[in-house]
Structure 1
Amino acid sequence: MARQIDHLSRSDDTYLVSEDSSALDIDSKKEDYGDGEIDAPAIFLCGKCRLPFGDSLSWAGSDDEQNQILLKRVNENIVVGKEPFVYGTNEEQRCLAVNLTCRGCSVKLGHMYMSTPKSLDYKRSIFCLMVENIESYVLGSSDQQVAAVDSEERPVTLEYMDNVERQMTKIKSLAVTIGQRLLEIEVDLQGKLRTT
């Protein structure tokens, strides 16, 4: 029947499934993200409150039938349930599992199998996350935009500052000249009004 194994440990702010668990492993680590042929790392977020909880560097596989992704490691934003329940409808596929919920909004993100039949041993003690309840963001994805600096929003340089200061000095000088001229006109008008 099923074996019960608990390989879940907590290290700093990350939950980690120990290496001797029967999880799917990534065939090879992908490290070169610049040439576009290899997938860049992805960040996984809660679909409701967008709280990040893991990344693709802890990828353990996926289950297309169940519409799940499998991670070996997540951070403290995933709350591992304490109450196990029986999961599965087919008697040969029944498992003992606990819920995985988001710390931010308490939405159910998936579950973790604590005890499995032999056919599901690869999922035991792995974070099984429901794709419909999560979002992902690929680092360096093409939908990112480069900050556009048009001619009117160019960076401030010393040369630009000198030019602005010269123009401000001219404007101040012109304002003083206009002010003096208006004062002279006012004095002249007051003198003319007194004589009449």
Structure 2
Amino acid sequence: MALREKSAQHRQKSVNTTFEASSINSSTVEEKLFGHAGEDEDGDDGPVVFICGKCKLPVGDSLSWDGSEDGQNQIRLKRVTDNVLVGEDTRLYEASKKSLCLITDLFCQGCSSVLGMIYASTPKNLDHKRFAFCLNVADIDSYILGSANQMLAAEGPKEQPVTLEYRGIVEQQLTEMKMLVMSMAQRLEEIEAGL
């Protein structure tokens, strides 16, 4: 009875999750998160934010990482955002030929798409998945914090900051141009008077 009450309480919690089809698999996600492969890059990648593939609501981040399942193309998180809703119904799921599990689906609060599942009851060999948020990699996208590289033109490498020295040079050039224009205007008056 206590397990049934726990399960009912757990289903009532709302969680933020949304996924969209993606060509990446869970090993690629794990490599990006922990640098097991692809060490040729900076290696200074920031945390990863997982977002719904359809409506782009954030559903979790790599700070709550619990592992990945390559065979099922899933990632496991210990915590997710309030954008992930835990379904009401528990159903049977056959993880492998001899492994029947009870699962509850996870839904995106924004677009109601299925994002993954929670294993409520598992055989001993799958206990590591129980009560973790298993998100389908095909239904989520990700964003690495700090990966933005676009800057405004004023911040580009060719632009100079406006300093007092730079301002003085610009004012001097404007004064010289003003004197040149005035002398040309005077010369033009003299030419017109001679005609």
Structure 1 Cα separation of the partners of residues 98 and 130 of structure 2: 15
Matching of residues 42-191 of structure 1 within 5 Å = 42-88=48-94, 92-139=98-145, 149-150=156-157, 152-186=158-192, 188=193
Instruction: Describe the shift of the 1:157–1:69 C-alpha distance in structure 2 as closer, same or farther (beyond 3 A).
Output: same
The answer as to whether partners of 1:92 and 1:117 remain within 8 angstroms in 2 is no
Aligned counterparts of 1:10 and 1:175: Cα–Cα separation in 2: 75
Distance 2:166 2:75 in 1: 53
The structure carrying a bigger helix percent of its residues is: 2
Q: Share of identical aligned residues, percent?
A: 48
Counterpart of 1:56, as a letter, is S
Structure showing greater relative contact order (alpha-carbon pairs closer than 8 Å, 6 or more residues apart): 2
The 1-side partners of 2:88 and 2:175 are apart by 72
Distance 2:88 2:187 in 1: 85
Superposed displacement of residue 133, structure 1: 2.1
Q: Which secondary structure does the structure 1 equivalent of 2:88 belong to?
A: coil
- 1:162/1:49 CA distance change after superposition, 3 Å: farther
Deviation larger for 49-58 or 121-130: 49-58
2:45/2:146 contact within 8 Å kept: no
Question: How far did 1:91 drift?
Answer: 7.5
* Higher gyration radius (CA): 1
The letter of the residue matching 1:132 is A
Q: Which runs of 5+ in 1 are unaligned?
A: 16-29, 31-35
| Cα displacement (A) at 1:129 | 0.7
Which residue identity lines up with residue 108 of structure 1 in the other structure?
Answer: V
